[in-house]
Structure 1
Amino acid sequence: MKLNDIKDNPGSTKARIRVGRGIGSGKGKQAGRGGKGQTARSGVRIKGFEGGQMPLHRRLPKRGFTPPNRLVYNEVNLGRIQSAIDAGKLDIAETITAEALLKAGVVTHPRDGVKILGSGELKAKANFEVDAASKSAVAAIEKAGGTLKIPQAEAAPAAP
């Protein structure tokens, strides 16, 4: 096969319709835009405008609340950590922290911390120091013989 022999499959491309090129083309005069007014003009069209009637997106009630100080964690499954250990990217002799996971390429962005989730199997005995962990992840880490340290949980005062 040569580069000059390459071509698209028949029917995969369509010629564009050239509008406003005379009455005989079928798309002449108003070029498929209908009559006069805002919608016939170029560059001006209000999205959601309903002719003065209150638009649907303003008629519906607002719902929910987004807390301004919420924490966004990098969620990492145990199976992903185990595959990084098997590949030699993580050293189980050292404590596995958010920085170690970032350096190993397990997480890509250092958000507000790392949360470990329990999906997958952890075979290696490893010590973790992360910001959060699910109950199943804590159980799996302790079952493998490792330890889990969550710094924020220790710093928080006990509820009376």
Structure 2
Amino acid sequence: MAFKVEDLSPTPGSRTSEKRIGRGIGSGMGKTATRGHKGQGRATGKVAARFEGGQTPLFRRTPIKGFKNRGAVVYATVNISTLEERFESGSEISPEILVQRKILKDLKDGVKILARGELTKSFIVKANAFSATAKEKIESAGGKAEVI
């Protein structure tokens, strides 16, 4: 027996009629329209999730620890060892190239070169900041450290 579109119907009991609220006493849902009597939420039916019945709320009871310096400069850091692995001798390295080669995801407030690792190749490195040791290592390997 083949099914026909016109013979399809929902399973009995799966489709119920909509509650008709506030449509008179005979409906059984008139007068208060299923909202109950008086009470805090009678006007809007809602109380904020953070409300604790007048008790001092949790966010005011917990102490504030530390602070965040909004004027701080946050650098994306790269070590000399990474430059040694990923670049050929004589390369020019800039923040844009570091992002392009997926060494850095985000430049933040600039790039700072740090001194971890040994350097045998010479590079022309352009960055926003260098640690003193990193600058020394780059120049002793015959490279150049330029502050942007």
Q: Which has the larger radius of gyration?
A: 2
Task: Say whether the 8 Å CA contact 1:113–1:131 is kept in structure 2.
Answer: yes
Once the 2 structures are TM-superposed, how far is the Cα of residue 72 of structure 1 from its aligned partner?
A: 2.9
Aligned to 1:72: 74
Alignment map for 1:52-91 (pairs within 5 Å): 52-85=54-87, 91=88
2:96 to 76, 83, 99: 99
TM-score by length of 1: 0.51
Output one character per residue of 1:95-142: Cα deviation in whole Å (capped at 9) or x when no partner: 211112122221122332211111122211112110012223223222
Residues in 1 aligned to 2:54 and 2:133: alpha-carbon distance in whole angstroms: 55
Cross-structure match for 1:15:
none
TM-score (norm 2): 0.55
Stretches of structure 1 that go unaligned for 5 or more consecutive residues are 1-43, 86-90, 152-160
Q: Are the structure 2 counterparts of residues 59 and 106 from structure 1 closer, same or farther at C-alpha, using a change threshold of 3 Å?
A: same
**Amino acid corresponding to residue 115 of structure 2 in structure 1:** G
- Deviation of the 1:53 alpha carbon: 3.5
Contact 1:122 1:144 in 2 (8 A): yes
Using the alignment, how far apart are the partners of 1:59 and 1:139 within structure 2? 51
Q: How many Å separate the matches in 2 of 1:120 and 1:45?
A: 55
Q: Tell me how large the CA RMSD over aligned residues is.
A: 2.9
Question: How many Å apart are 1:56 and its aligned residue?
Answer: 4.7
2:116 is aligned to 119
Cα drift, residue 69 of structure 1: 4.2
What code does the residue aligned with 2:69 have?
P
Deviations 1:20-77 (A, max 9, x none): xxxxxxxxxxxxxxxxxxxxxxxx9946x76643345422432333333433322111
Q: Which residue of 1 aligns with 2:140?
A: 143
Which residue does 1:132 correspond to in 2? 129
Q: Number of residue pairs matched? A: 104
Amino acid at match of 1:112: D
- Contact 1:81-1:106 at 8 Å conserved across structures: no
Q: Secondary structure at the match of 2:113?
A: strand
CA spacing shift, 1:52–1:125, aligned 2, 3 Å: same
Q: Is the 8 A contact 1:92 1:127 kept in 2?
A: no
CA distance in 1: counterparts of 2:114 and 2:128, whole angstroms: 12
* Off by >4 Å, runs of 4+ in structure 1: 49-52
